[in-house]
Amino acid sequence: MTLLPIKDDLLERTLASIPGILGKLNYVADLRESGRYAHWGLARTYGEEALQRTMGEIHRALFLQVLRTPLRQLLEDVRRSAAAQRSDVRPYLEAILRNARSLVPPNLGGGSAAHFNSVVAALLSLLP
């Protein structure tokens, strides 16, 4: 197996298998405990400092991607993410809204938690 740069490893080997922007954001956010990201394999291969820097960068990029994606496209994305979790869309979005605080990265990169919450609330309002 070829050793890729850590960012490519995470994007191509781990996140590529997770459907949807929100699915990926949820996965990355779940790896963050007590303010630090935990991924045994990546930390072992690339080191703790590279893991923290790269995970923070990807967390921020996914968060901003959610904020920048048109609602129509994001709604389709949410359907894929929910289906992958064997969940209906409404409960999936309601869980995201309840856990929104954990999905927001430490460095917002220009986004805001309020904007994120309003996007998720808008998606919920678009459901039948």
Tokens representing 34 are 């007590």
Mean of the pLDDT values across residues 96-112?
89
Asked which of 8-12, 94-98, 106-110, 119-123 is least confident by mean pLDDT, the reply is: 106-110
Q: Can you give the pTM of this predicted structure? A: 0.91
Q: Taking Cα atoms as reference points, which of 101, 99, 124 lies closest to residue 112?
A: 101
Tokens 């007590």 label which residue? 34
**Domain residue spans in the chain?**
6-122
Rounded CA gap, 126 and 122, in Å?
A: 6
pLDDT at 2 over 80: no
What's the pLDDT tens digit per position in 41-98? 899 999 999 999 999 999 999 999 999 999 999 999 999 999 999 999 999 999 999 9
What's the pLDDT tens digit per position in 3-21? 789 999 999 988 999 999 9
Burial 85-123 (b: 16+ CB within 10 A, else e): beeebeebbeebeeebeebbbeeeeebeeebbbebbeeb
